[in-house]
Structures are given as structure tokens and as C-alpha cells.
Structure 1
Amino acid sequence: MDTQVLARRETPILVAAKMGILEMVQKILDKFPVAIQDMDSSGKNVLMLAAENRQTTVFDYLVEKKLPEFVFHQLDDQGNSILHLAAMLEELLPWRIPGAALQMQWEIKWYKHVKHSVPPLCFAHNNAKGETPRKIFEQTHQKLVKDGTDWLIKTSESCSVIAALIATVAFASSATVPGGLKEETGYPVLENHPAFHVFSITSLVALTLAVTALVFFLSIITSRCQERDFKLTLPRMLLLGLTSLFASIVAMLISFCAGHTFILIDKLRFAAIPIYAVACIPVAFFALVQLPLYFDLLWATLIKVPLRSYKVFNH
């Protein structure tokens, strides 16, 4: 009997809101506007289910539809408001994006988005257990914060080793002048050669970018990694660190090729292109490995409202 009652309470519009089927929600409300009053066995209406299940498109559609005020002030059997449900995190991660840190970033963005969409009276409302939405958010996201912190630190430690190695090589190469110096003036022998200018500039650029990347990664490692830092600070530092690291690798390889131009042109002219192609393999390999993560970071940071339909790369 109880199962039959529960089944009857799951009306089509509630199921559509829970599953994120926007077209069905639109058609039902267009033909049967009274369906907005439907509630499931827990006392949750269509807007609450959309917020709880992170269905962005359905939630935004309902908010823009200018629903009656009672829809926003509805409470479930536990006294939870819409903001309470948006603050809760189940065991299964809701967002289709890799990495605990990016999951946490989108959770914060979703909570803020729902908070700005509901009446201010919901902010300080306590449920039946006396918990505010903010308290529930902190309690249910503790494990995700810890997992995100571990992921960020491990990634930063690995990348900082590469950045330190590039900085060491770039410093050594920038201190070595190809062709030597003139005894009379102390100026480089090849100072008028175009490749020498390319070598000098790219060596300095590689050193600067590698040190910059190292600073960003060390900042993440030494950060307190608090909950609020996952919204923008930590992902942005990782994004800038990866950008600087990738650019420093490119600059270092250009410097390497420019420094060996003098030898290749005279003695190994026909082997120059294959050698340069082989030298680009590390950059290509690094790009294939890190670009999916880079694009995920870029997308997760730039987007204002998370999307359940986001298609991620396979790592």
C-alpha cells in the first residue's frame, strides 16, 4: 500500500524535474499550470527537486517563469527549504566533470546560484534539526574539500618538480653564451646573428615563466585550502601555473633549437628539420596529457552556472 501511495505521489512533472527533462516540464506547465503544486512523498515541489538534483536548465526555467511565492517558500517534511536542498551533497557526485577540486568549485557556484534565485527569507531559515543551509553545506562537503585539497596538492607537487627542472636548465642555458665572447670587447661573437637574439630572449622567457609557474604551484601547496578558496582562488592559480609551465617548456625548446642552429646549418643542414621535429615531441606529449585537464579547468572557472550536460574528456 505504501509503495502504491509513493508511486502516485511521483507525478510526471516531478519525475521530469528530477531527471532534468526540460521539454516535459514546459509542456506540462503550459497545459496544466496547476501541476506546479504537485509534491512528492517528502513534501518537495518541482522547484525543490530541480535544486536538489542540480538540474540547472529546469531550475532556471522555473525561476524565470515567475512562479507564485508559495513555490519558493515551500518546505519538505524535514523543514528543509530550497536552499537547504541545494546545499546537500549525496554520495554520488552530481557534476560530470573530473577532479574533486572542480566538483567542489561547481558545488559552490550552484549553491550561490540558488541562493541568489530564492527569496532572502530562505537564507537564515532553520530546518527541523535547527540547521541553516550554510551549516548543511559545510557538513556535507567536508570530504569533498579534503579530496579536492589532496588532488590539488599532488598535482601541484608533480608540476612544481617539472617547473624547477625547467628553471634550472633555463638559467644554465641563459648564462652560457653560444660562440663565446670577444676578447677585445667582451661582447658575444654571434651578437649580430638572428638566432642568437632568439636564443637570448627565449632563454630569459623560459626562466621567467618557469619561476612564475613554480610560485603558483608552491602557493597552492602552502595554501590553507579552505572551502571558499575552491570557488576561484585555487583553480585560477592552478590554471595560471599550468599555462606558465606549458609556455616555459615551449620557450625552452625554442631556445634549445636556436642555440644549435649554428652547428646544424654548417654541418647537419639536412638533418635540421628531423632534429627539430624530435625536439618538439616532449611538448606534444605534454599537451596530449595535460590539455584535457587544462580545458576542464578553463571551462569550470569561466562558466558562471554549472551544467549537468557538460561533456568531459576521458583522462
Structure 2
Amino acid sequence: MFMCSELYIAAFEGRTQEVTRLLSGDSSTAVVAVANGHPSPRGRSHAIHQGLCCITREVTAQQSTLLHIAASQGHCELIAELCLRDAALLSLANASLDTPLHCTARAGHADAIEAIVRLAREDRVEDDLLRALLSSKNKAGDTALHEAARHGHGAAVETLMKLAPEMASEVNGVRVSPLYLAVMSRSVRAVAAIAGYRDASAAGPDSQNALHAAVLQSSEIVSLLLRWRPALATDIDDNKSSPLHFASSDGDCSVVQEILTYAPPSTSYLQDTEGLSALHVAASMGNLPVVRLLLQSYPASADIRDSYGRSFLHAAVVRGRCSIISHAIKNRMLERLFNEQDMQGNTPLHLAVQAGEYKVVSKLLFSGKVQGHILNNAGHTPFDLVENSTGFFSMASLVVKLFVSGSQFRPQRQDHIKQWNGQDIMKWREVTSKNLAIVSTLVATVAFSAAFNVPGSYGSDGKANLNGNRMYNTFLLLVTVAVTTAVMATILLIYGKASRSPRSRSWITFVLSLYFLWLSLLSMMLGFYTAIAAVVSDNKKPIRTAVARVIYCGLYILMALLTELAMPGSLVGVLRFVVGVCSGRQRHVKKQISRQYPFVIMYAINMFLFVVVNTIAISVVDTTASLH
């Protein structure tokens, strides 16, 4: 029989007197009322007004009884009243097989738990009612302790552990223990209560234990679990990962130190299904403090190799962890690892080039501890692997760095060399050319208009009022340069896109158009300053100075940003590359670069010129502001 609205609301809000009034009378009267056509809530309300009554066995759509509702809300007085009327309500389960004890444990009402247990003990109908209640499981296989632990209700967990500590050894339908759930809730109080039982289970999903979860939750819980059961540190999950693997991946040194304190030395040497140790994991994640701690505690763990024969240094290189590389460079005990080869013959330098990690490559080469001529099992040096790069910038950076360091290609016939297929940069150039043509046309239009909307306006004779002013004349010159260079950039961009000239020639036109467009933009910015300087009176020099400084700072920041993003290495490195290519040193390497990566040389030269030109432009702005 479905519960009437008045009874449900009264039970939910804990109005014991109203529930008692609704339940007063003979239950047979209510049955007669239903038989007479009052089964719905509306009919039930009508029946109440006629002097009829509700019954204790009414349920919700989820088959929850009045006691389920009262227990979930922690109404102890109502719980006692309902149990006095019908003690069997204690053991009734709803559609999810939740008993009232499950409901109150899920809500965390410790006093309601004690009330239910006390009433169960007073029941004389069934002696083992309390035992059945405490061990009862719902559809998910959860006991009341599972529910309290899952939601982190420390007081409720403590109460249940006092009543039935053996519940801590039970696992639910997916083989998860209450302790694991308590750890996931981050409730130290709940974890401490369960861990007080010696035989408590620590099982979790995928063969994990509670310590696997704790290392990612709370260092306090980790300490508590290790003091309770140190053997948890050596347990492995389905992936053969130990809690130390988990802690190393997270990077919390205090947790790692806690595990190393309680765990045996063999824990640091445990390897997962891929052969990765905790040191491999920490290195691949870039957790330098953990790497330092592991190497300090167990230096021999640096010799561990994974399933591919790779050390922790290989793992750090593949993920581009520069901090780990820097630390290894300073450690004399790790020098042997820099030229160590894996099962495929790859050194860390091979893997760094293959991964396109040019910053790591730079650190390895700068250390002076790696050899760039070592061949892997496929007969390739690190320089040969540059051809697998998919991005132009990473390819150019690798070529510059490897050439400057004196690295070599493998010996091969020069007619077998294939030019690097830079499809990505070609597509980028096509799209960029179209957008730049629009920009250059707009710049030319604006600069052309500025020449006839001169600062200071015109006099009655049609001449400019500021004619003869030094800043005004400079403004006209800069506007003329801006128009001319913008038009030239537009023509070159259209020509490069429309013509079917060789790739090298089309790239030359594209680069020239970039220079002209950049020069046009610089001229416009300087023209803006000279126009303001021409119309501002001499007694307002601070305004001109402020404008000049804003332009100066903007150009400086923009140049620094573009240099950082587009420069294939440091400025000194690029200069050494340009000088080395032009001087003829490493003749064979230079020839192969010009055949296989023809755009790199031009790109490096142009980037160097870009810095020079912009430095001159910034100096002009600064000088102009100082002179006027």
C-alpha cells in the first residue's frame, strides 16, 4: 500500500505526534477504506477526514517504509515510536535491499544508529535480529559500515565499529572494503576507527589496497595506515603498481618518505607490467624532489631498466622533463646513463630527437656528456631521426642544435637523400599568405589615408599648417615608407600564391613579403609618434616622452616574444649555426643539411636578421624620443 502524502511529510519532518495520530485506530478500518475506493493519496486524505487511519506498513514507490524515512533523517523519537508499534520494520528492506540501518548510516546519524541497535536488542521475537541487521547487505553488497565509510561519517563509523567490528572485514559486490571507501572520503576519523580492528580488510578495486588510494588523498591517512599495517606498502594491483608507484606519480615527497620509512628496501625496486619502477614514474612525471629522494635513499635503483631496456633518464627524455635532465647532469654517478642504449640501440639523445623535444636535446648537448655519432640498431644517428619531425619549428631547432654540437649523419649515398617533406609548413604558408595579403592591403589603405589627413590640418592656401616642421616631415617620410612597403608586400604575397615557381623561389618571395609588411607596420607606429610630437606643444614634452616609451616598450616586448617563440635556439646558437654554415666547417654535414633541410639555413639567417632589424628600429624610437 503506497504511503499517503500526509504521513510521508510528517515522517520526513519528524513530527512524531502527527504520525501517531495518523496511525491511531484499527488497521482493519484502513483496509476497508481502501476497499471502498480510497487507494490514492487524495482518497486517503478523504478517508482520514472520515475518521479512518493510516497503517505502519505503507511504503513509498521505492518500497521504503516509515522507518526508512525516519532513519534517513535521524529522528530517534519517531524511530522508537514506530518500532514500538511494529518491531518487524527494523528488518524490512526497500527495493534496493536497504534496511533502515543502511539509511541512517548513509546519512551519518550516529545517535539514530544507536537507537536502532538498542531497539533490535530489546526485540524478543527474534534473538539474532541485531546480528542480521548489522550483517545485512543491499543490492550493491554494501553493509551499513560501507555506507557510513563511503560518505565519510566518522561518528557513524565509530559507532558501527563498536557494535560490530567484524563488519570491517567484509567487502561489497565489487570487492571493495569499508576501509578503502573511508580513505576515498578523506575522513581521518573514519579510517582510524576501521584501522583499529586488526583483521579489517583493505581491499579496493583492481586489486588495489587502501594505501594505493591514500597516497593520493592525505599524508595523515598514509601514516595511519602504514603504522597499522606496513605490509600494505608492498602490495601490488592488477598493473603490478605498488603504492610507491602511485606516490611517485603524484610527487608528494612527504608521502614517499613515509612509505620508504616503513617499507622494506625491495619496494623501490618493484616494477609494474611495463617494467617501470617508482623512479621511472617520478622521472617521467618530472617530479624532481621525488627523484632526488629515491636516488638518495637507493642509488642503485638508477640501474633498473624497463621492458624496453630504458633507464629513468630515457623516461624523462621522452616526456621532455628538463629538470630531471639537469639534475642528472650534475650527478657524477649518473654519467654512464647519458650514452646508455635501450633494446633498440637508442640513447637518450636518440629518443629526445625522435620525440621532438628540442629543449631536452639542447640540455643534453650542452652537458658535453652525450655522443652524437652513436648508431642505433637501425643504423641511425640522432641527426638522422630529425627527418621524422612533423613540425617545421621543431625540425629547424633540432638541425641547428645538432649541427652546432658537431653531430653527424650516418654514412649514405647522397643521391638517396630525400628532402624533408614539410607539408605542415607549406599548408601554413598558404593560409598565412592569404591573411597577410589582407593585412598588407589594409595597412596600405590606412597609410595612404594618413598622408592626406595630415596632423595640424591645412591652411587657407591648401598647404599643411605644419609644413617645415621636423616631426611633420618625418611623419610624411614614414607614411611614404609604410605605403610603399605595404604595397610591395601585397604584390609579393599575391605573386607567391598565384605563381607556380619552384618551392625555394616561392619561399623567398614569402619571406621578403614578411619583411616588407613588418617594415610597414614599424613605419606606421613611428609615424604615429611623430604625428603626435608634431601637434603637441613644446611645453608638454612629458606627453611626447610617455607616448615614445609606450611605443618603445610595446616594440621591445613584441620583439622579445617573437624571438622567443620563433628563434630555433638561442641567439648565440643561431649565430654559430649561420657562421658555421657560411664558413664551410663540417662540409659534409652542411651539404646534407642543404639537400635535406634547405629551408633551415634560410630560416636561421632570416631570424638573425629579424633580431638585428628590430633592434635598430627600437634604437631609432629611443633616439628620436631623446632628441625631441
Please state which band the TM-score falls in when normalised by the shorter chain: 0.5 to 0.7
CA distance in 1, matches of 2:276, 2:564: 35
CA distance in 2, matches of 1:256, 1:189: 13
**Paired residue for 1:202, among 452, 475, 479?**
475
- AA partner of residue 27 (structure 1): L
Residue 167 of structure 1: aligned partner: 444
**Paired residue for 1:87, among 344, 349, 353?**
353
Shift in CA distance, 140/9, structure 1 to aligned 2, threshold 3 Å = same
Residue 309 of structure 1: aligned partner: none
Residue 458 of structure 2: aligned partner: 179
CA distance in 2, matches of 1:182, 1:304: 58
SS at match of 2:366: helix
Alignment of 1:87-106 (within 5 A): 87-89=353-355
Q: Does 1:38 align with 2:313?
A: no
Residue 97 of structure 1: aligned partner: none
Alignment of 1:144-293 (within 5 A): 145-171=422-448, 173-174=450-451, 178-179=457-458, 188-191=463-466, 198-209=471-482, 244=519, 246-250=521-525
CA distance in 2, matches of 1:32, 1:210: 68
TM-score by length of 1: 0.58
- AA partner of residue 162 (structure 1): V
Shift in CA distance, 53/209, structure 1 to aligned 2, threshold 3 Å = farther
Residue 386 of structure 2: aligned partner: 137
Offset of residue 88 of structure 1: 1.1
Residue 111 of structure 1: aligned partner: 361
CA distance in 2, matches of 1:69, 1:211: 58
Residue 312 of structure 1: aligned partner: none
Shift in CA distance, 146/117, structure 1 to aligned 2, threshold 3 Å = farther
Offset of residue 19 of structure 1: 0.9
Shift in CA distance, 37/295, structure 1 to aligned 2, threshold 3 Å = same
RCO greater where, 1 or 2, for CA within 8 Å and sep 6 or more? 1
CA distance in 2, matches of 1:248, 1:169: 12
- AA partner of residue 83 (structure 1): L
Indicate if the aligned counterparts of 1:205 and 1:251 stay in contact, CA closer than 8 A. yes
CA distance in 2, matches of 1:61, 1:238: 45
Unaligned segments of structure 1, at least 5 residues: 90-103, 230-235, 262-286, 306-315
Over residues 166-205 of structure 1, what are the superposed CA-to-partner deviations in whole Å (9 max), with x where a residue is unaligned?
234424643777526959xxxx4513697xx655433432
CA distance in 2, matches of 1:160, 1:202: 25
CA distance in 2, matches of 1:17, 1:237: 45
**Paired residue for 1:300, among 559, 565, 578?**
565
CA distance in 1, matches of 2:423, 2:358: 15
CA distance in 2, matches of 1:37, 1:28: 12
Indicate if the aligned counterparts of 2:474 and 2:527 stay in contact, CA closer than 8 A. no
Indicate if the aligned counterparts of 1:72 and 1:118 stay in contact, CA closer than 8 A. no
TM-score by length of 2: 0.32
- AA partner of residue 465 (structure 2): L
- AA partner of residue 386 (structure 2): F
What is the aligned length?
251
Over residues 192-236 of structure 1, what are the superposed CA-to-partner deviations in whole Å (9 max), with x where a residue is unaligned?
697xx6554334324435655765995x989968xxx9xxxxxx9
- AA partner of residue 326 (structure 2): D
Indicate if the aligned counterparts of 1:199 and 1:256 stay in contact, CA closer than 8 A. yes
SS at match of 1:79: coil
Residue 55 of structure 1: aligned partner: 321
Offset of residue 39 of structure 1: 1.7
Residue 94 of structure 1: aligned partner: none
Indicate if the aligned counterparts of 2:344 and 2:376 stay in contact, CA closer than 8 A. yes
Indicate if the aligned counterparts of 2:447 and 2:524 stay in contact, CA closer than 8 A. no
SS at match of 2:466: coil
Offset of residue 125 of structure 1: 1.7
Unaligned segments of structure 2, at least 5 residues: 1-237, 241-270, 395-421, 536-553, 571-628
- Sequence identity, in percent? 24
Residue 98 of structure 1: aligned partner: none
Offset of residue 51 of structure 1: 1.4
CA distance in 1, matches of 2:442, 2:345: 56
Residue 14 of structure 1: aligned partner: 280
Indicate if the aligned counterparts of 2:345 and 2:377 stay in contact, CA closer than 8 A. yes
Offset of residue 298 of structure 1: 4.3
Over residues 93-122 of structure 1, what are the superposed CA-to-partner deviations in whole Å (9 max), with x where a residue is unaligned?
xxxxxxxxxxx7xx44543443333545x3
CA distance in 2, matches of 1:65, 1:242: 49
Indicate if the aligned counterparts of 1:164 and 1:210 stay in contact, CA closer than 8 A. no
Q: Which is worse superposed, 152-161 or 174-183?
A: 174-183
Indicate if the aligned counterparts of 2:485 and 2:517 stay in contact, CA closer than 8 A. no
Indicate if the aligned counterparts of 2:350 and 2:382 stay in contact, CA closer than 8 A. yes
Offset of residue 76 of structure 1: 0.7
- AA partner of residue 114 (structure 1): L
CA distance in 2, matches of 1:246, 1:114: 39
